[in-house]
């Protein structure tokens, strides 16, 4: 059975620490920033995906240790392994993966970690279950839990189910942080890609007050003339 040390060794073989400072700036790791204290050894995502496939049968205990690691790439690779395991697992196994994800949610603490895993694990887990957990996450004071809440609904969007996305979007529509503006706008855009009328019903009476970034993301795929009307406030 592969161990945490083996996974870390595989990551370190592909590391490019000379780029660490640039990554730390990009992921806002400075004091008071959203990624404060995060550490990078800089391994490309394709290489991490390859390593995740190599260690796709890693035990949940070892994955938990990776999630607790201070190195960003260890946490992302751990999540990629869980994303490999979840669709292959039976019901009990999926429950255990979801339980671990929820237990270690504080370690899903940057936007790429959220966006890689939230819909593939939490969203997929909740497909046939009560989804009130998403409301609890959206109603929390934690930026990453709030982003997990909205991004998790991407799984439902892919099934043609927009109800949860629109509900969580209403909860977060006046959020102050740019990372929530982008995530909500992204999910609204995905709704609009499948049902433009549903998106426009959401925007009606709201778009004037939405953060500009959220609106731009939401309407990005609308016909150009209509998109410009929204931006000018003429709809």
Tell me, letter by letter, the H, E, C secondary structure of the chain. CCCHHHHHHHHHHCCCHHHHHHHHHHCCCCCCCCCCCCECCCCCHHHHHHHHHHCCCCCHHHHHHHHCCCEHHHHHHHHHHHHHHHHHCCHHHHHHHHHHHHHCHHHCCCHHHHHHHHHHHHHHHHHHCCCHHHHHHHCCCCHHHHHHHHHHCHHHHHCCCCHHHHHHHHHHCCCCCHHHHHHHHHHHHHHHHHCHHHHHHHHCCCCCCCCHHHHHHHCCCCCHHHHHHHHHCCC
Residue 6, pLDDT score: 86
Question: With the C-alpha atoms ordered 71, 75, 81, 83, is the resulting torsion angle positive or negative?
Answer: negative
CATH of domain 131-235: 1.25.10.90
The pLDDT of residue 78 is above 50 = yes
Burial class (CB in 10 A: 0-12, 13-18, 19+), 89: middle
pTM for the predicted model, two decimal places: 0.95
Mean pLDDT of 168-195: 98
Query: Scanning the structure block, which residue is given the tokens 């969580």?
Result: 168
13 is written with which tokens?
Answer: 């073989």
171 is written with which tokens?
Answer: 């909860």
Which region, left, alpha or beta, applies to residue 32 given φ > 0 means left and ψ of -120 to 50 means alpha? left
Mean pLDDT of 136-141: 97
The pLDDT of residue 208 is above 60 = yes
The pLDDT of residue 88 is above 50 = yes
- Confidence class for position 229, pLDDT limits 50, 70, 90: very high
8 Å CB contact between 202 and 188: yes
Q: Where are the domains of the chain?
A: 1-129, 131-235
Burial class (CB in 10 A: 0-12, 13-18, 19+), 209: exposed
The pLDDT of residue 4 is above 70 = no
Residue 1, pLDDT score: 46
Which CATH class, in words, describes the domain spanning 1-129?
A: mainly alpha
Lowest mean pLDDT, pick from 30-44, 92-106, 121-135, 139-153: 30-44
For 25-49, the pLDDT digits (tens) are 988 899 998 999 999 999 999 999 9
Residue 12, pLDDT score: 93
The pLDDT of residue 2 is above 70 = no
User: What is the rounded CA–CA span in Å between residue 99 and residue 105?
Assistant: 10
Burial class (CB in 10 A: 0-12, 13-18, 19+), 223: exposed
Asked if the domains 1-129 and 131-235 are classified in one and the same CATH topology, the answer is: yes
The pLDDT of residue 62 is above 50 = yes
Highest mean pLDDT among 5-9, 29-33, 201-205: 201-205
The overall longest dimension of the chain from CA atoms, in Å, is 61
């Amino acid at each position: 059975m592969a161990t945490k040390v083996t996974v870390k060794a595989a990551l370190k073989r592909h590391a490019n620490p000379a780029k660490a400072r640039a990554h730390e700036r990009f992921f806002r790791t400075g004091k008071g920033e959203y990624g404060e204290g995060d550490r990078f050894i800089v391994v490309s995502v394709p290489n991490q995906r390859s390593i995740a496939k190599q260690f796709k049968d890693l035990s949940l205990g070892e994955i938990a240790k990776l999630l607790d690691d201070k190195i960003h790439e260890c946490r992302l690779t751990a999540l990629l392994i869980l994303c490999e395991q979840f669709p292959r697992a039976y019901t009990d196994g999926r429950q255990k993966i979801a339980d671990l994800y929820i237990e270690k949610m504080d370690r899903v603490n940057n936007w790429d970690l959220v966006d890689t895993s939230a819909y593939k694990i939490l969203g997929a887990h909740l497909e046939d279950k009560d989804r009130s957990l998403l409301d609890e996450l959206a109603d929390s004071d934690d930026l990453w839990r709030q982003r997990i809440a909205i991004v998790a609904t991407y799984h439902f969007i892919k099934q043609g189910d927009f109800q949860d996305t629109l509900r969580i979007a209403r909860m977060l529509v006046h959020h102050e942080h740019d990372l929530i503006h982008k995530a909500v706008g992204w999910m609204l855009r995905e709704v609009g890609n499948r049902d433009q009328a549903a998106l426009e019903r959401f925007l009606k009476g709201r778009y004037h007050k939405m953060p500009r970034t959220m609106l731009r993301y939401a309407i990005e795929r609308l016909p150009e003339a209509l998109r410009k009307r929204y931006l000018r406030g003429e709809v």
